[in-house]
Amino acid sequence: MCGRFALFSQPEILEQHFECKALPGMETAPRWNIAPSQTIAVVRQENGTRRLAPVRWGLIPGWAKDGKIGYNLINARAETVAHKPAFRNAFRHRRCLIPADGFYEWQVIPGAKAKQPWFIALRSRLPMALAGLWETWQSREGTKIESCTIIVTEANDLMRPIHDRMPVILPSGDWSAWLETADHDAKFLQNFLKPYLNDEMTAWKVNTSVNSPRNDTPECIEASE
């Protein structure tokens, strides 16, 4: 799964890297410990233009009666995303990129009570594009909430000793096709949902301060023995 990540690249870097424009007034302050239910940045296609937009992390399907369902839908499994009722409509029509400078995962240590947190990034240190879906939901009172989920797949060789799942990271050559608003065949889209290349990623242990989302400082990604 992917339950925590970081995005600290400057807005101009994100706009250049993803060839997008931020929506007016959007805040993109550095974040070192992003947690579910918080507002995050996504890149999506709007009238042929890529936009950086703020949405809530934890997808709320359009048919949901209660927005609290989003707390349980922060990730979508690649194996079932095309068919699961909560995700299948967004999978066909509302795909997005979720910029991240890296993500966290917790490793089970045999004989130890506490898990070891790791930070995983690209060797290039460029922002990665996590495969995501977004939805618009309206409450009974008329409040509209835009929300998203991160698609996860099986771990690659780098990640497997740490955790058996990882977010889908899309190479830049796939971004345009993924963001198209066309109603693509599910089999076509499924081709994007695979583990990323081992040799383009790196990982290091970090301290347990990242365990609490209240801690949102650069120390969260500092290497720890």
CB-facing half-sphere around the CA of 133: CA atoms within 13 A: 29
Mean pLDDT of 124-145: 95
Q: Quick check: 3 and 82 in contact, CB under 8 A?
A: no
Whole-prediction pTM: 0.96
Structure tokens at 122: 């690209």
**Token pair of 32, please?**
């070192």
Q: Which residue has the higher pLDDT, 82 or 1?
A: 82
Rg (C-alpha) for the chain, rounded Å, is 17
Beta pairing class for 39-46 and 49-57: antiparallel
Q: What does 79-137 look like in DSSP terms, one character per residue? A: TTTTT-TTTHHHHHH-EEEEEESEEEEEE--TT-SSPEEEEEEETT-PPEEEEEEEEEE
Residue 156 tokens read as 């690659």
- What is the spatial distance between Cα 202 and Cα 117, in angstroms, rounded to a whole number? 14
Question: Hey, which residues does 77 pair with through a beta bridge?
Answer: 152
Q: Which member of 2, 96, 148, 220 is catalytic?
A: 2
**Contacts of 109-118 spanning 24+ positions with Cβ under 8 A:** 114/208, 116/205, 117/205, 117/206, 117/207, 117/208, 117/210, 117/211, 118/162, 118/203, 118/204, 118/205, 118/206
Query: Which residues, in sequence order, are bridge partners of residue 130?
Result: 98, 169
Catalytic residue among 27, 79, 96, 105: 105
Write the pLDDT tens digit of every residue in 51-64: 999 999 999 999 99
Q: What is the mean pLDDT of residues 45-73?
A: 94
Cα–Cα distance for residue pair 128/100, rounded to 1 Å: 5
Does the pLDDT of residue 211 top 90, yes or no?
yes
Topology of domain 5-103+129-200 in CATH is: hypothetical protein yedk fold (3.90.1680)
Is 96 catalytic? The answer is: no
* Bridge partners of residue 132, in order along the sequence: 96, 150
pLDDT digits (tens, 9 = 90+) for 135-144: 999 988 889 9
Higher-confidence residue of 96 and 10: namely 96
